[in-house]
Structure 1
Amino acid sequence: MHPGPLRRTVAQPCEKYFVKVAALHERIRAMSTEGMIMRAIAEREGVSTRAVH
């Protein structure tokens, strides 16, 4: 089993989760603005290309 799905099943406080997701979105926006393609961003961040889209 890939560690990604397992890592996501661990519960964490909502506040911590929202801060983490907001930081991820900021990084994705910054990389997109720099001209990186979605596949490269997804690989770097460890998420799917659909999540980047």
Structure 2
Amino acid sequence: MPQLETNKPKKLKKAEKEQDLKGTLLSVMLLGLFIILSWGAVYALYLSR
């Protein structure tokens, strides 16, 4: 019986971690896109001068 009680919290922890990963991936991709566009804009400004 005690083994069943210890397994339940582990399953809940896994489910909680997996739910947050999609939002994290989206945030990182948006941040990366912003950084790339910023560098591109600075480079274009450098070339135009």
TM-score w.r.t. length of structure 2: 0.47
Please identify the structure whose Cα radius of gyration is greater: 2
User: Whose helix proportion is higher, 1 or 2?
Assistant: 2
TM-score w.r.t. length of structure 1: 0.43
